[in-house]
A and B are shown apart, each in its own frame.
Chain A
Amino acid sequence: MKIKSILIANRGEIAIRIIRTARKMGITTFAIKTAKEPNAWYLDEADEIIDFSECYDDTPEFLDIERIIYNAKEHHIDAIHPGYGFLAENPDFARRCEEEGINFIGPSHDAIYRMGNKTVAKELAKKAKVPLLGGSKGAVPNAEEARKIAAEVGYPVILKAAAGGGGRGMRVVEREKDIERMFKLASNEAEKAFNNPDVFIEKFVREPRHIEFQILADKHGNVVHLGERECSVQRKHQKLLEESPSPALNDALRKKMGEAAIRIAKSVNYYSAGTVEFLLDDANKFSFMEMNTRIQVEHPVTEMVTGIDLIEQMIRIAEGEKLPFEQKDIKLNGWSIEWRINAEDVQSGFSPSLGTVEKISWPESDQIRVDTGVRDGSVITPYFDSMIAKLIVHAEDREKALQLSSMAIRKFWIKGTKTTLAFCRAVLQNRNFREGKFNTSFISKELKIHYHHEPDEELLAAFFAVYDYAREVHEIEDKPLYVEKGKEIAPWVLNKRLR
């Protein structure tokens, strides 16, 4: 059935991203307004706004299943797109949509449930003959049991939240003496983040690559993969940049891993867009990690190299359409890299940097795409994650994509907040990164300094500090401020006059 209206149960850049495609398809969009950011940009982009400003209880707006469902019905909305995070991988939400006759733009609640439960997912992968890592059978009941299992599996091990994702509730344990403390930490964090303290144990592969495959599947049993994304550059399991393809894969390995990803998807009769994550060790042996049953933050790199609009395909699949292509039609063209720009202070251990984005601008080109939820004057609140923009470049090959990245990052200007742009520069300076030789330990081991500046930049900063100071003194004392060619001028005034 054709979808005429979509409620977007999300905010920020992904809400805007979904609206863009919906608008192209002639679909009316509804966005949810919260008291936490009542002037956010995504609200201006949507056709209609549903106001959640008034709070009835402590449930965060984008997690309030019944309120969202009620409003979707109240406004006669055909479908809901959950974006990523929040309710995207909540099987209850998908089930409630199904029950109420709202088209959930994503997989079935059953597929979400089975892939979201790590124990069930592993069983399915095993049956689908996809390689796996050793570990606990299901959730570990207590710290003592954790100690036993870890000893059997062998250190190092990793503790993961059973309901987890996005790096939260994950802890690597190197030695037996740390296992109890780390188990408690991971369990606490899991409880906080997912309302479920269950944690399981897995063999930890030292320094693997993190490679994931994009899947598209329709409701008629057709499944294709759209190649891989290289996501190895991570800090504390948080991805900071992604590329497609990966420098580590050749066509043969891509085919093998892609087919494994398709088998995983078929094992749960998957439909919609999904991502199958693998670890790849230094001998090119891969193991299934998990399946993300939603659109990913990093989906644009796949869109750039395949030319396929993933949101559009999700909507068409939800409408019951067949995939318009087969595996042999999927071609990967060129190289794409996505740089996540977070409002974080790289020089203070990536601590959150709140404030106002006074100004933001970037170089425009058909090889550069920026997905962002902020514009001049946007406020960065402590309520949501710190990602403010994604800078995506697309070029013929990796070398050119790196060059283009350097240029674009240099010209990506944000005034008013500290961002991870300095970190992006540091990564680009690194020789091993440039040569494609890196894995998930890249940031902790290889990248000793997390930000990069040119030698002269401190001088320029010093000059600017003195300028600003002198300007204030100048206002008080009426002394000459700045001299160019022997003439006294205030460059601010000069430039404003020129405009």
Chain B
Amino acid sequence: MKKSKKLIALSASNKAYEFNRPLERRIKYQGKKVDIKLREDPNGFSYIVWKNKKYMLDVIEKNQNRYTIMVNGVWHTFSVETPISFKRKKYLEQQGEGSANVSIEAPMPGKIIDILVEEGSEVKGGEAIIILEAMKMQNEISSQVSGVVKSVMVKKNDSVMKDDVLIEIQKG
């Protein structure tokens, strides 16, 4: 089998960035050839020189082919794909259907102070459903969608981790 000569970084908004492998210093960008110089400074920071400006980069999270990269303080997520895995991903996306259940997850680690809904409650998008205390602040967690509460996975005084599912809502 012929080895693929390209790698694709697919952003969270489904934008595909294609690069030749091995990576080259001169890349094609918006129809032009531009230099992309990867360097490391004496303090151990990685940076890219791009159009005469330095951009500091950092791998914040990495899980197999999924990356969170920080550039100048802003993070971006990608999955790195080969042309074959990229095609398969696109195909699966077309087949898949959006789930009717939406999970409300803890945006930060903390403690559940109050639950403002119960199973069967109707909620409107933007409505506060849980009070979560983190870093000594009480935060209102609201539902992004309107629907009916299908299940409540936590109770008062529970400690939760980031991304723990708190409540499931059936869209409606």
A residues with a Cβ closer than 8 A to B are: 168, 185, 188-189, 192-193, 236, 345, 347-349, 351-352, 354, 358-359, 361, 382, 385-386, 409-410, 413-416, 418-419, 421-422, 424-425, 451-454, 456-470, 479-485, 488, 491-492, 495-496, 499
Contact = CB atoms under 8 A, between A and B. Distances in A.
29 contacts: A188-B138, A193-B136, A352-B108, A352-B134, A385-B135, A413-B45, A415-B45, A419-B73, A421-B73, A424-B73, A453-B71, A453-B72, A459-B17, A461-B57, A461-B70, A461-B71, A462-B9, A462-B19, A462-B76, A462-B78, A463-B38, A463-B48, A465-B59, A465-B69, A467-B23, A481-B22, A482-B24, A482-B38, A499-B42
Contacts of A491: 38-40
Contacts of A359: 43-45
Nearest to A185: B138
A459 B76 CA distance: 10
A347 B15 CA distance: 19
B36 A460 contact: yes
Contacts of A410: 72
Given A460-B71, A484-B25, A382 B45 contact: no
Given A422-B74, A457-B72, A460-B50, 4 more contacts: A352-B134, A385-B135, A464-B57, A465-B80
B63 to A, nearest CB: 12
B117 interface: no
Contacts of A465: 9, 59, 67, 69, 78, 80
Most buried by B among A189, A458, A460, A466: A466
Contacts of B60: 418
Given A349-B107, A416-B58, A456 B50 contact: yes
B48 A462 contact: no
Interface string B53-69: 00111111010010101
Given A483-B24, A499-B42, A469 B136 contact: no
Contacts of B107: 348-349, 351
B9 A466 contact: yes
B100 interface: no
Contacts of A415: 44-45, 56, 58
A386 B135 contact: yes
A385 B80 CA distance: 36
A5 to B, nearest CB: 31
B92 to A, nearest CB: 20
A460 B55 contact: yes
Contacts of A168: 136-137
Most buried by A among B9, B38, B72, B75: B72
Contacts of B24: 482-484
Nearest to B66: A465
B71 A470 contact: no
Most buried by B among A410, A459, A480: A459
A352 B135 contact: yes
B23 A463 contact: yes
Nearest to B116: A181
A466 B74 contact: no
B151 interface: no
Contact of A452 (B23, B56, B74): B74
Contacts, number: 174
A465 B75 CA distance: 12
A240 to B, nearest CB: 14
B162 interface: yes
Interface in B72-113: 72-76, 78, 80, 107-109, 113
A427 B70 CA distance: 19
B29 to A, nearest CB: 7
A79 B114 CA distance: 43
Nearest to A457: B71
Contact of B162 (A351, A409, A459): A351
Contact of B22 (A236, A349, A458, A470): A470
B131 interface: yes
A215 B64 CA distance: 56
Given A352-B108, A352-B134, A481-B23, A458 B11 contact: yes
A466 B23 CA distance: 8
Contact of A461 (B3, B65, B78): B78
A84 to B, nearest CB: 15
Nearest to B19: A466
B166 interface: no
B23 A464 contact: no
Task: Please give me the 5 A-B residue pairs with the lowest Cβ-Cβ distance, nearest first.
Answer: A351-B108, A421-B73, A462-B17, A462-B9, A461-B69
B43 A469 contact: no
A410 B72 CA distance: 7
